[in-house]
Amino acid sequence: MAFEFTDKNFKETALDGGNVAVVDFWAEWCGPCRLIGPIIEDLAKDFDGKALVGKVNVDENPETSMKYGVRSIPTILFIKDGEVVDKHVGTATKAALQGKLEGLLV
């Protein structure tokens, strides 16, 4: 299951972990977010133990959303060693996101 990032745990889990994190910014009312949700869940299972894959509900966690300038959802951030190294806005295929993630794990 995808990890649930919040304003309270974001720094310690996504930034300070010293690993790779994939963060999907989403909302319950967002149609494209619901389309990409199952892909994020699959990636969380596929990369369990290799990368932290999870979601941030923008309605419940406005601080983190504002800090990263998330204006459109879904927005997916790829974080490595505490730095945002890639960003994707909108829907995407599992293969596209998986390719980006695999590139960060090399």
Catalytic residue positions?
Answer: 30, 33
Query: What gap in Å lies between CA 19 and CA 81, rounded to an integer?
Result: 5
Please give the angle made by the CA atoms of 1, 11 and 6, to the nearest 5 degrees. Answer: 50
Contact status, residue 101 vs residue 78, Cβ threshold 8 Å: yes
The DSSP 8-state label assigned to residue 105 in this structure reads T
Main-chain dihedrals φ then ψ at residue 41, nearest 5 degrees: -60, -45
